[in-house]
């Protein structure tokens, strides 16, 4: 498998140069880069190699570089347009299938971890589990107004995965969020609509009440249960 970006740009560029008919060794090429034109050309070669190989998986190094060489030198290609289109289609389908398998494996692992966490959390006598699967524990009870359906609420929150990985925190920014009571996650809506102002709850949301099976790219993994600590500041 080609590893241009990870095994060294100089080696990658020289490898392509060799397949393009260059007989120079790595040392000869690198020591000959004295003119600006040569340096620019070499740098362009490295950039093209890095871009061409970025994200590629499961490829035959030699076949890949042979195709690069044929295209670069405008030689007669070894495969017809139709054959290449079919091959590229297969490659794309294989990568998509691999990605789906990895996604589903991650989601299944997260679903199992979330279910185990919620089952353990439910053993706490202070935990309430609602019909939707929402779980909450009152950490401190306020005496203020309870939001209505049309209310706008201001609250602090800290969200984390069941393994303790922090997802986000308004406390760390020292800036609460203000949204319509039904304008956030489904689990937020259910919890906030029962909290008097001044209350602080620990809330556990299964994926269907949080970010769903898709998760939130780069923040919440697919199928994750999310734990929130929520403090309702005010109702407008």
Quickly list DSSP for the chain.
---HHHH-HHHHHHHHHHHTT----HHHHHHTTTSHHHHHHHHHHHHHHHHHHTT--S--HHHHHHHHHHHHHTPPPSS-HHHHHHHHHHHHHHHHHHHHHHHHHHHHHHHHHHHHHHHHHTTSTTEEE-TTS-EEEEEE---SPPP-TT-EEEEEEEEEETTS-EEEEHHHHT--EEEETTSS-HHHHHHHTTPPTT-EEEEEE-GGGTTTTT-BTTTB-TT--EEEEEEEEEE-
Please give the average pLDDT of every successive group of 10 residues along the chain, which has 236 residues.
33 41 46 73 75 73 76 73 86 90 94 97 97 97 93 97 95 96 95 96 97 89 97 95
Structure-block tokens of residue 48: 């093209």
Structure-block tokens of residue 83: 């054959």
| C-alpha 190: how far from chain center | 27
CA distance 77 to 66: 10
Least Cα distance to 112 among 101, 123, 104 occurs for 104
pLDDT at 92: 87
Does pTM top 0.85 for this prediction?
Answer: no
Determine contact, residues 204/185, Cβ cutoff 8 Å. Answer: no
In this structure, the number of other CB atoms found within 10 A of the CB of residue 87 comes to: 11
Domain ranges of the chain: 4-78, 122-235
Domain 122-235 has CATH 2.40.160.10: no
pLDDT at 210: 96
pLDDT at 153: 97
pLDDT at 70: 74
pLDDT at 48: 74
């Amino acid at each position: 498998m080609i590893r241009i970006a990870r095994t060294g740009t100089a080696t990658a560029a020289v490898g392509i140069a060799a397949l393009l008919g260059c007989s120079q060794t790595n040392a000869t090429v690198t020591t000959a880069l004295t003119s600006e034109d040569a340096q620019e050309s070499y740098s362009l070669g490295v950039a093209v190699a890095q871009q061409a190989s970025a994200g590629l998986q499961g490829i035959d190094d030699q076949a890949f570089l042979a195709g690069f060489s044929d295209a670069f030198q405008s030689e007669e290609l070894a495969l017809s347009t139709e054959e290449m289109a079919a091959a590229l289609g297969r490659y794309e389908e294989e990568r998509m299938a691999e990605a789906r398998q990895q996604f589903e494996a991650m989601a299944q692992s997260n679903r199992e971890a979330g279910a185990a966490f919620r089952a353990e959390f439910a053993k706490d006598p202070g935990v309430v589990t609602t019909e939707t699967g929402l779980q909450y524990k009152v950490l401190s009870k306020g005496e203020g107004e309870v939001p209505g359906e049309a209310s706008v609420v201001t609250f602090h929150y800290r969200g984390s995965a069941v393994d303790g990985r922090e997802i986000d925190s308004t406390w760390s920014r020292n800036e609460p969020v203000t949204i319509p009571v039904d304008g956030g996650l489904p689990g937020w809506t259910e919890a906030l609509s029962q909290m008097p102002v001044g209350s602080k709850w620990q809330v556990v949301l299964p994926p269907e009440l949080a970010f769903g099976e898709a998760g939130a790219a780069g923040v919440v993994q697919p199928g994750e249960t999310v734990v929130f600590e929520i403090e309702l500041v005010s109702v407008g």
